[in-house]
Chains A and B, each alone.
Chain A
Amino acid sequence: MIEIRIHGRGGQGGVTLAKIIATTRFLKGQSVQAFGLYAAERSGAPLQAFCRYDTEPITNRNLIYEPDHVIVLDPTLVGPAITGGLKAGGWILFNSPEPPAHFAADYPSYRIATVDATAIALEHHLGTRSVPIVNTALAGAAGRMLGFDLEDINAALEHLGFTGANLTAAAQANEHVRVLEVVQSDEATPRAAPPLAKARAPGFLGGLGGEFPRIKTGQWATEQPKRQQMVPPCNHVCPAGNDVQGFLHALAHDQTDEALAILLRTSPFPAVCGRVCPAPCMDNCNRIGLDGAVNVRQLERFAGDHGHADVKAIDQRDEHVAIVGSGPAGLSAAYHLARFGYRVTVYEGAPDIGGLLRSGIPTFRLPAEVLDREIGRILALGVTAETDHRIDRPRLLDMARSHDAVLVATGLQELRGLRLGVADSDAVVQGIDFLDRAHRGEVRVDGEDVLVAGGGNTAMDAARSALRLGASSVRVVYRRTRTEMPAIREEVDEALEEGIEMDFLTQPVALADDSVGTDGRARFRLTCRRMQLGEPDDSGRRAPVEVPDSDFDISCHRLILALGQSADLTVFPEGTEVREGEHLLGLLETPVYAIGDLATYDGTVAGAIGSGRRSAYHIHEALSGELLEVHAHAEARRHVDVWHDEVINAGAMRLHLFERTAPSAGTTVPMATRRSTFDEIHQGLTDAREAKRCLSCGVCNECDLCVTYCPEGVLKRVGHEFVFDYSFCKGCGVCASECPRNVIFMSHL
């Protein structure tokens, strides 16, 4: 008689394996037994199955205590108990990807065989992913060990109703099973002989029956839950490098001051950006796929407007840094350097501080008092500002010798023009200049028909300012379509709502005098040509191509050009290549960096702020040797096991777990009053409820759903720490499945 004992887990098919082996012998006319030891265990719990076969009728009705061979279905069951009573000369067959030598040390007395039945079962889709059914594969391997023909194994499988994939699996395992024949010792593992009369167990009359369970169900697990953190798309794309998820989390928990503090770590201009940023964070918000992006812009404004912060320098240093230009890049660099403790002086050519923030953005988008408040915070750190102070090349070299570092943040001073066949006409003005004069109250266009050429924010700002300065009509001509306009989408929408007309695919070609109007003012005639979109150019947008014979005229009093800007590099020595973070003026020891639009051509306030910060960090590293982490979101690590420096996209979020709620837009001034005043149009949000719509993509926000759903109650949060009791965790995967933001993942053991 041959006796085989099988160790497996519920659901792996251990009892059926016993049956398969028995059936091979049954079909050969032998006497067989196949049975399992049943108790209360469920899927995943350890159990035993048994098989006997003999040429004589079998009368033994006990469990198998001294098997000839042992089969182990689950590598995690390996332990001394499985070989109890195994006879010398027997073999142990393991379901394992390891070679037999791997087990030889633990079982020196026996022949070892291994086959990766799990891989075979998964390959042939036998069972589920978390509980693959390995029995048919192991039947093939065991049959080989027992000296059965493959036909006999197949016959048994077919007799039991197994088809196709099961037979293939068996054949595969039969062929691939590896055997280590050599044994190190002749000693069999003795079976502890059970006494005939066992001590009785106490009953429940004495109050027993309340002891804690002893089974470490953690041993059932084939996977364990771990925590990870990924980068939310908003954090990834923010040009300023803000911890967007971080400040939204604070607002969602009514911590406005904390939200502001988080923003101020990276940007000194939350209230400004909350009004003028194009908000790429919103364009990349994973909530778009559900019910609309979180209104991050308005929330940043809310934090900037309503939060209180007391920003102080963290250190005091002797080094003195000069910054040329007080636009967003220069001021951002000044802010960060002053916080690090450096002595900072900002040199500005205009009469007031702020650069394009002040002169290029109209107050109906960015009120002066808001800008002043945020600039004030920077100056309060001890930054000195010198206005009406233009810098030329000699002055720059002087500065480099008398300071420890110099940052040049002069922006894009060169304004692109158009050859319109009219030299020096009063009718034509650059948008940037127009806005500057409007800011100083030095221009009106009452009753004028105004044309604006361009599609960026300057064009929109100039057009909308012209409207408010009395224009009787404002029209924008742009050589591509609405889709290609670089202006902030909302700006274009608002301009259209305010009654500004737009001609797309229209290129100005020539300007000529026209008749004098009845009001006595000179009129001009702008000849325009129709365009159509061709192949994409360097900017990636489809280039406009002239449509022949399509010219037409538009009459106007004034033409505003807003066709883009470029850098004025005359302040640098000739041949200097200007890129952000480059040590310019290489002959000098002093680090001299170009920052902001001058270096990046980015064109946004947030981009400039980011450039300023990065450069401040570079300067700090150059001067102190200390390297600081640039990405703020790295600080947002929430007690995780793994940190992924990759962005989490909507596909990795469980959006279906969130209820749909429409975004809040905040209130705006009614149209009737809007067009005639430079007062701020957007009134912002009345509360920060919108922040609760943030999904906290890839970053744990302690929603505690994992804790709520854990069937075993083995996951607890203590403060900010998540504690998994792995000694009991069964690896069911519910927590990973239910985390809406992909923080928990199942890690194979």
Chain B
Amino acid sequence: MSAGTEREPMPGRVEEGLSIPCSEDCLLRPGNTNCGGCGMSVGLTMLGRVLAESGDTCSLVIPACCGIVTAGGFPTTSYGVPVVASTFAAAPAFASGMASVRDLNGESGQVICWAGDGGTYDIGIATLSAAAERNENIIYICYDNEIYGNTGGQRSSATPPGARTSTTPSGKREGKKDIMSIMAAHRIPYVATLSIGHPEDYARKIRTALSLEGMRFLLLHSPCPTGWKSEPAESLLLVRLAVASGLFPLYEVWDGRTYRISVEPDWTDPAEYFSRQNRFSDHLIDLDATRRACREDFERLRILAEQFPHVD
């Protein structure tokens, strides 16, 4: 694309020269249109770092979600790896096809689905379940910002109870779907929850996933300041509070049978977490019930981890 083209620049595009100060390429390139402080950006940047260190290559399959908007306008892209935009429900299917051909041809490289919670918990769940049941040799990473972020913040089945979204103006009545139990029930080699607020744990789990074959499902708690109505600079504090309060436990399950807890909550009051996001108001949350549920759910997890511990 040369300067002096007859095309009118669209708003937001800077028609300057093509020399971009990126001395090395990276998974997520600067100059992307993600919101400042986007949790998904942090997740992608961290993922890219781990891949670069381990020497693994990857292709991404990204369904309709903020992740594909990240790519930006053709012919530029914010991704430094091969990416294909899949239809909303079909990322695991696209990935299965790609991974099959990779394996048929004896090639290396990970095929990674990078999908939001809408595409994972809702519209894509059948596709995801089928890929898991077939134990496809892919990694599926769901960055869970607990809304349909790309379309302006509607509820998904990943939205937690009490949260205000544009389709649940009085707070969501239903609970948050337990996608981890669902995926573990498929007995795939590895499922794990991740948090960008715990970067070493995050990196370790990515490396674990890279070292395994078969279907690997990773759930990343991904703060969305725009949707959560929170300060962008507090993004990491928030997900750390979620882990500390037991709202988002960090753990791993192998083959749906053995468990390991990664981080012990220190039982900070969940009120601390809720108070920093305008999507939650006092009157929409039953704090006592929430505190109880956190403890009980974690207790269940602890029992599983004690009865069926994972041995490396």
Tell me, yes or no, whether A and B come into direct contact in the complex with CB atoms closer than 8 A: yes
Chain A residues with a Cβ under 8 A of chain B: 11, 37, 39-48, 81, 128-130, 192, 194-195, 198-199, 201-202, 204, 208-217, 220-221, 705, 708-714, 725, 727-728, 730-734, 736-738, 746
Contacts of B76 in A (CB 8 A): 211-214
When A and B form their complex, which 10 residue pairs have the shortest distance between CB atoms, in order from nearest? A732-B36, A213-B31, A733-B233, A711-B41, A728-B30, A730-B36, A732-B37, A737-B233, A43-B35, A212-B20
A130 CA to B225 CA, complexed, in Å:
11
* Chief secondary structure at chain B's binding surface: loop
| Number of A-B residue pairs having CB atoms within 8 Å of each other in the complex | 168
List residues 1-27 of chain B with CB under 8 A from any CB of chain A: 1, 5-16, 18, 20-22, 26
Residues of B within 8 Å of A43, CB to CB, are 35-36, 225-226
Interface positions, chain B 154-204, Cβ under 8 Å from A, are: 196, 199
Q: Do B236 and A737 touch across chains, with their CB atoms under 8 A apart?
A: yes
Q: Which of B30, B34, B35, B39 has its CB near the most chain A CB atoms (within 10 A)?
A: B30
Contact B75 A47 (CB under 8 A): no
CB-based contact B36/A44 at 8 Å:
yes
Does B232 sit within 8 A of A, measured CB to CB? Answer: yes
Interface segment, one of B42-50, B113-121, B284-292? B42-50
B21-A214 in contact (CB<8A):
no
Q: Which residues of B have CB within 8 Å of A37?
A: 11
Note all chain B residues with C-beta closer than 8 A to A213: 20, 29-32, 72, 76-78
Question: Using a CB-CB cutoff of 8 Å, which residues 185-243 of chain B contact chain A?
Answer: 196, 199, 225-226, 229, 231-237
Contact status B74-A217, CB under 8 Å: no
Count of chain B residues with Cβ under 8 Å from any Cβ of A? 56
A725 touches which one: B8, B30, B33, B46 (CB < 8 A)? B30
Among A210, A211, A738, which residue has its beta carbon within 8 angstroms of that of B236? A738
Closest residue on chain A to residue B41 by CB atoms: A711
CA distance A40 to B38 in the complex (A): 15
Residues of A within 8 A of B30 (CB): 213, 217, 712-714, 725, 728
A713 close to B37 (CB less than 8 A): no
Question: How many angstroms from the CA of A741 to the CA of B80 in the assembled complex?
Answer: 33
Partner of A734, one of B75, B229, B232: B232
A730 to chain B, nearest CB (A): 4
Q: Is A210's CB under 8 angstroms from B234's CB?
A: no
Q: Which residues of B contact A214 (CB under 8 A)?
A: 13-16, 18, 20, 31, 76
Residues of B within 8 A of A220 (CB): 36
Chain B contacts for A215, CB-based, 8 A: 12-14, 31, 33, 72
How many Å lie between the Cα of A53 and that of B76 in the bound state? 37
Q: Which residues of B contact A47 (CB under 8 A)?
A: 11-12
Is the CB–CB distance between A211 and B41 below 8 Å?
no
Q: Does B73 contact A (CB under 8 A)?
A: yes
Residue B28 lies at the interface, judged by CB distance under 8 Å to chain A: yes
Q: In the bound complex, how far is the Cα of B36 from the Cα of A220, in angstroms?
A: 9
Q: Tell me whether A733 and B75 are in contact (CB under 8 A).
A: no
CA distance A204 to B14 in the complex (A): 21
- The answer to the question of B69 belonging to the interface, with a C-beta cut-off of 8 Å to chain A, is yes
Contact B31 A212 (CB under 8 A): yes
Contact of A42 with B226 in the complex, beta carbons under 8 Å: yes
Measured in the bound complex, the distance between the Cα atoms of B229 and A33 in whole Å is: 29
Contact present for B234 and A39 (CB under 8 Å): no
Kindly list chain B residues whose C-beta atoms are within 8 Å of the C-beta of A199. Answer: 5-7
- Closest chain-B Cβ to A49's Cβ sits at a distance in Å of 10
CB distance from A147 to the nearest CB of B (A): 28
B36/A709 in contact, CB under 8 A: no
Complex CA gap A39/B12 in Å reads 9
Q: Can you offer 29 A-B residue contacts whose CB atoms are under 8 A?
A: A41-B12, A42-B33, A42-B35, A43-B36, A43-B225, A43-B226, A46-B11, A47-B12, A81-B9, A198-B6, A208-B74, A212-B22, A212-B29, A213-B30, A213-B76, A214-B31, A215-B14, A217-B32, A709-B42, A709-B196, A711-B34, A711-B235, A712-B30, A712-B32, A714-B30, A725-B21, A733-B233, A734-B37, A737-B236
Q: How far is the CB of A633 from chain B (nearest CB, A)?
A: 28
Closest CB in chain B relative to A302 CB, distance in Å? 28
Task: Flag if A211 contacts B12 (CB, 8 Å).
Answer: no
Q: Which of A11, A42, A212, A738 contacts B34 (CB 8 A)?
A: A42
9 more contacts with CB within 8 A, not counting A39-B12, A198-B7, A734-B233, are A40-B69, A41-B12, A44-B36, A192-B8, A212-B18, A217-B31, A732-B38, A736-B233, A746-B233
**Cβ contacts under 8 Å, A40 to chain B:** 33, 69, 72-73
A314 to chain B, nearest CB (A): 41
Q: A46-B12, A199-B7 are in contact. Are A211 and B75 (CB under 8 A)?
A: yes
Contact B12 A45 (CB under 8 A): yes
- What is the CA–CA distance of A213 and B12 in the complex, to the nearest angstrom? 12
Residues of chain B within 8 A of A711, CB atoms compared: 34, 36-39, 41-42, 45, 235
- Which residue of B33, B39, B199, B233 contacts A217 across the interface (Cβ within 8 Å)? B33
In the complex, the answer to whether B18 meets A211 with C-beta atoms within 8 Å is yes
A738 nearest CB across to chain B (Å): 6
A448 to chain B minimum Cβ distance, whole angstroms, is 55
- Contact among B20, B75, B229 with A208 in the assembled complex (CB-CB below 8 Å): B75
Contact A209 B75 (CB under 8 A): yes
Our pick among B11, B14, B33, B236 for the contact of A48 (Cβ within 8 Å) is: B11
Q: For residue A713, which residue of chain B has the nearest CB?
A: B45
Cβ of B42: which chain A residues have Cβ within 8 Å of it? 709-711, 734
Q: Do B41 and A712 touch (CB < 8 A)?
A: yes
Q: Shortest beta-carbon distance, A14 to chain B, in Å?
A: 11
Shortest distance from the beta carbon of A165 to any chain B beta carbon, whole Å: 15
CA distance A711 to B197 in the complex (A): 12
Determine how close the nearest CB of chain A comes to the CB of B229; give it in whole angstroms: 8
With A212-B18, A214-B20, A215-B14 as known contacts, state yes or no: A41 contacts B5, CB within 8 Å: no
Contact A39 B35 (CB under 8 A): no
Query: How far does the alpha carbon of A730 sit from the alpha carbon of B235 in the complex, in Å?
Result: 14
CA distance A46 to B45 in the complex (A): 24
- Complex CA–CA separation, A28 to B251 (angstroms): 61
A728 surroundings in chain B (CB, below 8 A): 30-31
Q: What's the nearest-Cβ distance from chain B to residue A130, in Å?
A: 6
Q: What chain A residues lie within 8 Å of B5 (beta carbons)?
A: 199
Which residue of chain A lies nearest to B11 when distances are taken between CB atoms in the complex? A48
- Distance, CA A736 to CA B36, complexed state (A): 13
Contact of A708 among B22, B78, B199, B234 (CB under 8 A): B199
CA distance A504 to B18 in the complex (A): 80
| Cα of A214 to Cα of B13 in the assembled complex, Å | 7
Contact status A209-B74, CB under 8 Å: yes
* Distance (whole angstroms) from the CB of B163 to the closest CB of chain A: 18
Which A residues touch B235, using CB under 8 A?
A: 711, 732, 734
Contact: B72 with A732, CB < 8 Å? no
- Whole-angstrom CA separation of A46 from B13 in the bound complex: 9
- B20 close to A39 (CB less than 8 A): no
| Bound Cα distance A572, B226 (Å) | 74
Instruction: Give CA–CA (A37, B10) in the complex, Å.
Output: 10
B86 to chain A, nearest CB (A): 15
A211 (CB) vs chain B CBs: closest residue: B76
* A44, A208, A214 interface centre (most CB from chain B within 10 Å): A214
Chain A nearest CB from B167 CB (Å) reads 18
Interface centre among B5, B37, B41, B229 (most CB of A within 10 A): B37
User: Measured between alpha carbons, how far is A624 from B74 in the docked complex, in Å?
Assistant: 69
* Bound Cα distance from A200 to B196, whole angstroms: 42
Q: For the complex, what is the distance from the CA of A728 to the CA of B22, rounded to whole Å?
A: 11
Q: How far is the CB of A83 from chain B (nearest CB, A)?
A: 14
A128 touches B231 (CB 8 A): yes
Given known contacts A713-B26, A734-B232, is B31 in contact with A44 (CB within 8 Å)?
A: no
User: Nearest chain B CB to A455's CB is how many angstroms away?
Assistant: 41
CB within 8 Å for A195 and B6 given contacts A40-B72, A734-B236: yes
Q: CA of A208 to CA of B77 in the docked complex: distance in angstroms?
A: 10
